[in-house]
Amino acid sequence: MLREHGCATAVLPTGLEAAWAGAVAGVATLTAEADVTLDAELDAVDAVVTAAALGIATTGTIVLDHGPDQGRRALTLVPDVHVCVVRAGQVVHDVPEAVARLRPEPGNARPLTWVSGPSATSDIELERVEGVHGPRTLVVVLVDEEV
């Protein structure tokens, strides 16, 4: 995927599964989350590879809770390509199920980002344009694996 989108550099969250990180290392120069402290540095990175908190089947949504395998929010926002790996066991049926699972823990709330496709706008004559500010390419890899 990264090769297909011409990504030479990629940033990885600290807690990403080692096997996935290894696979990415084969095609792109890696940067660790901790090494990009400035948003401007992040802007120079081509891609980001993360896991997800869960997926929602009916709406085609992935939800990031920005845990260690997903990184802080800027990581999945600034680079232009986001590859997100979701395990089949993480996929719930609908929105109420997702909301029930994501309830913030008191005192230890995480920020949540719900992503249902690449950034898009229909602001000019209602013609849909994909890719405005977020990653213009979103690739979701669904892995046949329980959590």
Partner 1 sequence: MTTTTPGPVQETSPVFVGMPKFPTAAREALANTQQRRNLKHATHTIRDKRARVVAEVPEWEALRVAGAEAKDEALAHLGDYLEQLEASLTANGATVHWARDAAEANAIVLGIVQAKGVDEVVKVKSMVTQEIELNEALEAAGVNAWETDLAELIVQLGHDRPSHILVPAIHRNRSEVRDIFRREMAAVGRPAPDDLTDDPARLAEAARLHLREKFLRAKVAVSGANFAVADTGTLVVVESEGNGRMCLTLPDTLVSVVGIEKVLPTWDDLAPMLQLLPRSSTGERMNPYTTMWSGAHDGDGPQDVHVVLLDNGRSHVLADRVGRQALRCIRCSACLNVCPVYERTGGHAYGSVYPGPIGAVLNPMLRGTASDVDKSLPYASSLCGACFDACPVRIDIPELLVELRGRVVEQEGRTAESAAMAAAAWVLSDPKRLSAAQRAATTAGRLLGDRTIRTVPGLGAWSNARDVPTPPTETFRQWWSRERGRGPDERPRRDPGPRPRGDRRRDDHPRRPRADHRRRGALARPRRDPRPLRRERRRLPGRGSARRPAGRRR
- Write out the residues near partner 1 by the rule CB under 8 A: 39-40, 43, 56, 58-61, 66, 72-74, 77-78, 95-96, 99-100, 103-104, 106-107, 109-127, 129, 131-135
End-to-end CA distance of the chain: 23
Q: With respect to partner 1, which residue has the nearer C-beta, 22 or 111?
A: 111
Using the minimum distance from each CB to partner 1, give the nearer residue, 7 or 78.
Answer: 78
Give min distance, CB of 141 to partner 1, in A.
19
Nearest by Cα to 48 from 93, 100, 87, 13: 13
The distance of closest approach from Cβ of residue 115 to partner 1 in the complex, given in angstroms and rounded to an integer, is 6
Q: Burial letters for 61-99: b for 16+ Cβ neighbours within 10 Å, e otherwise?
A: bbbbbbeebbbeebbbbbbbbbbbbbbeebbbeeeeebe
Q: In one letter, which amino acid is 4?
A: E
Q: Which is nearer to partner 1, 3 or 101 (CB)?
A: 101
| Minimum distance from residue 26 beta carbon to partner 1 (Å) | 29
Cα dihedral 98, 99, 105, 107 sign = positive
Q: How far is the CB of 135 from partner 1 (least distance, A)?
A: 8
